[in-house]
């Protein structure tokens, strides 16, 4: 993972536009986002952002809770998605760990740590059965 993202809601249309519009210019321009479906309400395939549109897609059975961003230069940036509603007391250290180059844990392992600490209730955040 290259870092973490802590959106305020499960509305990918709103949250991804905010992420893209505020992404550091020095990192490059985001052209595509591939997301984990359990994290989000169903978004459109193209999302309007300040500089135009970003393509959005997903892998049908992906429940990794990672957002992969394809940059204009073909670089891939992978962000752990911290569930909306997670307390800042727990979200901030998890985000710092995700951004640490020495971290070898996947997003799911870091999020399980939040669950054990009582910071999130995964049943209240995500539905891993395709939104049913």
- 120 neighbors 111 (Cβ within 8 angstroms): yes
Does 132 map to a domain?
no
Average pLDDT over residues 107-128: 64
What CA–CA distance (Å, rounded) separates 1 from 105? 9
| Segment among 20-24, 58-62, 85-89, 127-131 with least mean pLDDT | 127-131
Average pLDDT over residues 103-130: 67
Does 98 map to a domain?
yes
Does 131 map to a domain?
no
Does 102 map to a domain?
yes
Tokens at residue 16, please?
Answer: 């991804």
Average pLDDT over residues 120-127: 48
Does 59 map to a domain?
yes
Structural domain total, the chain: 1
| Amino acid 118: pLDDT | 61
Confidence category of residue 129, pLDDT binned at 50, 70, 90: very low
What CA–CA distance (Å, rounded) separates 80 from 93? 13
Does 110 map to a domain?
yes
Average pLDDT over residues 64-72: 93
Domain range for 17 is: 3-125
pLDDT at position 120 over 90:
no
Does 32 map to a domain?
yes
Does 130 map to a domain?
no
| Amino acid 39: pLDDT | 87
| Amino acid 113: pLDDT | 76
What CA–CA distance (Å, rounded) separates 39 from 35? 8
Residue among 114, 118, 120, 70 at smallest CA distance from 95: 114
């Amino acid at each position: 993972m290259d870092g973490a993202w802590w959106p305020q809601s499960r509305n990918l249309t709103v949250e991804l536009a905010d992420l893209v519009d505020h992404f550091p210019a020095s990192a490059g321009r985001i052209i595509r986002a591939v997301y984990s479906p359990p994290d989000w309400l169903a978004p459109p395939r193209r999302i309007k952002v300040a500089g135009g549109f970003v393509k959005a897609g997903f892998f049908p059975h992906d429940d990794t809770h990672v957002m992969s961003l394809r940059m204009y230069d073909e670089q891939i940036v992978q962000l752990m998605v911290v569930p909306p509603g997670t307390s800042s007391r727990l979200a901030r250290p998890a985000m710092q760990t995700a951004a640490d180059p020495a971290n070898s844990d996947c997003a799911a392992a870091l999020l399980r740590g939040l669950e054990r600490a009582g910071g999130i209730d995964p049943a209240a955040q995500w539905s891993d059965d395709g939104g049913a």
